[in-house]
Amino acid sequence: MTKTRPLPIEVRGSARQPLGMSPAQFLSDYWQKRPLLIRNAFPGFIPPIEPNDLAGLACEEAALSRLIVHDEKRDRWQVKTGPLSEDDFTKTPDSNWTLLVQDVDKWDADVAALLEAFRFLPSWRVDDIMISYAEPGGGVGAHVDQYDVFLLQGLGQRHWGISDDPAAPKDFRDDVELKQLKHFEPTHEWLLEPGDMLYLPPGVPHDGTAFGGPCMTFSVGMRAPSRAELTGDLADYLAERLPDELRYDDADLKPAKSAGEIDRAAVARLKQALPFAAALDDALLTDWFGRFITRYRNAQVPAHPEKPMTEAALRKLLDGGAQLLRHPWARLAWAKTKAGATLFVSGHAYPAPAALAEQLCEQRVVSFAKLPAATELALLLSLVNDGHWLPQKARRR
């Protein structure tokens, strides 16, 4: 009887295969199962944002940021939540501090472009790109995430320790504001260089510390609603629609065939995660989930235009070569229906032709070789007037 060789925990990537293997193999062997370090996942990687620009973003009122300083001698942690100020940065020590800024992909198009490398995952599964900048010794302490995360080293070096021991203790400290582990014994340790990437499935204890000099790490985090969150939102949804008498994981994920589609396999996983939902009609469950998964957790919604656009005005713009730019806060998904498809945008549902729904999920900037049909134009007009897409006039040559 031949023994199965253990899967490697470290591989080497390339420009052609950032994961060091095919997406299908990664999803089959590693996704939500075991950690993986990919050396040279992004060859010659150059950070798409400068540290000073990241600090400037942390000073914005609407940005989600935290400044964390560690007093190593007394093992005390100080956490300041943004918006930050220039004075906050002038008071930082020479080492042992880190800046965390969430949702940087919503603010910076070059950072958002990194998500192209993760298109083998459903777009609605991706949450955000958080960027951490740290001086030597800076980090957030040993902790556990309840979602999948890809940790891409962008600047300098970071020392990572992880524990893949299933019996590793996961009790939290009660003397710090951060959710840090009381005990952490790494089973693997690495020093990551720019372009290296560490994948961690949910529940893996880990600790990252800036080493040697300034360090910047790009964390691509996944949207992983808890079952309590799913249940609560579904219950509210059903309460509005069902008579009083009637009282998510994806370890089997395959590469996405169509951008943003909520397919039958996703609905089947919902029924498995929510046993009481197994008897629900697939169309009802899909309609709820599409609204839920695209509703942004930070409650940021696009502003409606001051004056609604008319169909004639939109037709004239598109006929003149105008493009439609997706609002950075718009989250999208779509699902097939008997009548065609439903496009889900930031918690709202729009009847849509399937081809257009897929195109809008796939492209952040949409242009049309010919004028859209009446049904397509009606959908685009609704999306523009709801603030989800912004018309951009064609540039004159």
Q: What is the DSSP string of 37-54?
A: EEETSSTT---SS-HHHH
Query: Is residue 368 helix, strand or coil?
Result: coil
**What burial class does residue 384 get, using C-beta atoms within 10 Å of its C-beta: 0-12 exposed, 13-18 middle, 19+ buried?**
buried
Q: Which uninterrupted H or E stretch holds 127?
A: strand 126-134
C-alpha–C-alpha distance, residues 15 and 358, integer Å: 27
Helix axes 227-241, 282-294, angle to 10 degrees: 120
Q: What is the pLDDT of residue 228?
A: 85
Tell me what the pLDDT averaged over the chain comes to: 92
User: Angle 146-131-365 (CA atoms, 0-180°, nearest 5)?
Assistant: 100
Query: Is residue 151 helix, strand or coil?
Result: strand
Q: What is the pLDDT of residue 246?
A: 45
**Sequence letter at residue 145:** D
pLDDT in tens, 318-327: 988 899 999 9
Distances (CA, A) of 233 to 288, 289, 323: 9, 9, 35
C-alpha–C-alpha distance, residues 394 and 154, integer Å: 35
Please name every residue paired with 157 in a beta bridge, in sequence order, or none if there are none: 211
pLDDT of 113 over the 70 cut? yes
Cβ atoms of 32 and 204 within 8 Å: the answer is no
Query: 163 pLDDT band (50/70/90 cuts)?
Result: very high
Phi and psi at 124, nearest 5°, equal -75, -10
C-alpha–C-alpha distance, residues 348 and 385, integer Å: 13
Cα distance from N-terminal residue to C-terminal residue, the chain: 71
| Tokens at 357, concatenated | 């729904």
pLDDT in tens, 302-353: 778 888 999 999 999 998 889 999 999 899 999 999 989 999 999 999 999 9
pTM of the complete model: 0.85
Q: What is the pLDDT of residue 168?
A: 93
pLDDT of 1 over the 60 cut? no
Mean pLDDT lowest among 53-62, 92-101, 212-221, 269-278: 269-278
Query: 92 pLDDT band (50/70/90 cuts)?
Result: very high
Q: What is the pLDDT of residue 206?
A: 97
Distances (CA, A) of 351 to 133, 354, 379: 43, 9, 8
Q: What is the pLDDT of residue 247?
A: 42
Cβ atoms of 154 and 47 within 8 Å: the answer is yes
Query: 245 pLDDT band (50/70/90 cuts)?
Result: low
pLDDT in tens, 38-81: 999 999 999 999 999 999 999 999 999 999 999 999 999 999 99
Give residues with Cβ within 8 angstroms of 235, minimum separation 6.
none
In the chain, which residue ranges form alpha helices assigned H by DSSP?
23-29, 51-58, 86-90, 104-107, 109-112, 227-241, 264-273, 282-294, 311-319, 354-362, 374-385
